[in-house]
Amino acid sequence: MLKTNNIDTSLIMPDEKSLLELAFCLQSTLDIQNILQLFVNYLTKKISVEHVGYMMPEKKVAFSQGEETQYYFHQDLYHNDKNLGQLVLGSNNIFTEDDRNTIKNSLVALLYPINNAINYLNAVEASLLDPLTCVGNKKAFNTTLHNELSLSQRHEHPLSMLALDLDNFKLINDTYGHATGDSILILFTQNIKNCVRKTDQIFRIGGEEFIVLLRNTNKQGAQKLAERIKNTIATEKINDNDNIIAITTSIGVASATLNDTEKSFYMRADKALYQAKAEGRNCIAS
């Protein structure tokens, strides 16, 4: 376990000059892959390194570059007891004690930039997350829709969208209060999560309006999922101060075409949602 709190630059020995230069260089970017590449470029001037890998499962970050090698050096990275992931270096030459010391001494310059990059990832994630339900917000939806529709049309893979709305949600808020309404929104979101696949993406784009993007799913598959979600929601009964609150959802279904724009794709799902609500709520339209 490697830990550090501060780099003391008050007394810089000649051997430390290159490390200080490395530290400044690594802090020039917030991209973890770029940071690691610069770090390895520095290391290869001192020892044999043919492979670099980095893993931080918590942030779903993984990076690997170079061929498989015979020998590996693994190092867990920590800064002020904060886990920064694991670094893996590979070489076709066995790592000597001097090599290991060189790596560990060099890691002092790596920890701050990696920590800064992770803080940046946290900030980006927070800006794309709905704080109440912990699913993507409207900004995240717009970005994801652009990417997913482009991929779908380029590779001619099916892409579908569900537009969901909690029925009579304003009445629930007015009758039972916003705290109860928030609890119902959280429960609603959890039920959707329980129904979808890991590859499906959920967004809250308005007060009680949600979108689910379904990669590699045609209209028939999307309608089956919509039915599952609708039935699951309808079984929920919320007890609020001895008041039993039943909830239902209306769902609009749309599948992307090769001629769709992001706006036209979304508008068809939204139009289907309004049709479902006009037909009496607690139903599905496409």
The three-point CA angle 235-241-247 to 5° equals 25
State both tokens at 194: 């329980």
Looking only at the bridges linking them, the beta strands covering 82-91 and 71-79 are: antiparallel
User: Smallest Cα–Cα separation from 153: which of 264, 252, 251?
Assistant: 264
User: Smallest Cα–Cα separation from 170: which of 281, 35, 51?
Assistant: 281
State the Cα–Cα distance between residues 36 and 65, nearest whole angstrom.
10
Identify the active-site residue in 21, 125, 156, 208: 208
State the Cα–Cα distance between residues 39 and 54, nearest whole angstrom.
12
208 in active site: yes
User: Smallest Cα–Cα separation from 270: which of 209, 218, 227, 217?
Assistant: 209
Tell me the CA distances in angstroms from 264 to 108, 255, 259, one per residue in order.
Answer: 52, 11, 9
Q: Is 55 left (phi over 0), alpha (psi -120 to 50) or beta?
A: beta
State the Cα–Cα distance between residues 64 and 56, nearest whole angstrom.
12
The side-by-side arrangement of strands in the sheet containing 61-66 is 61-66, 51-56, 82-91, 71-79
**What residues are labeled active site?**
208
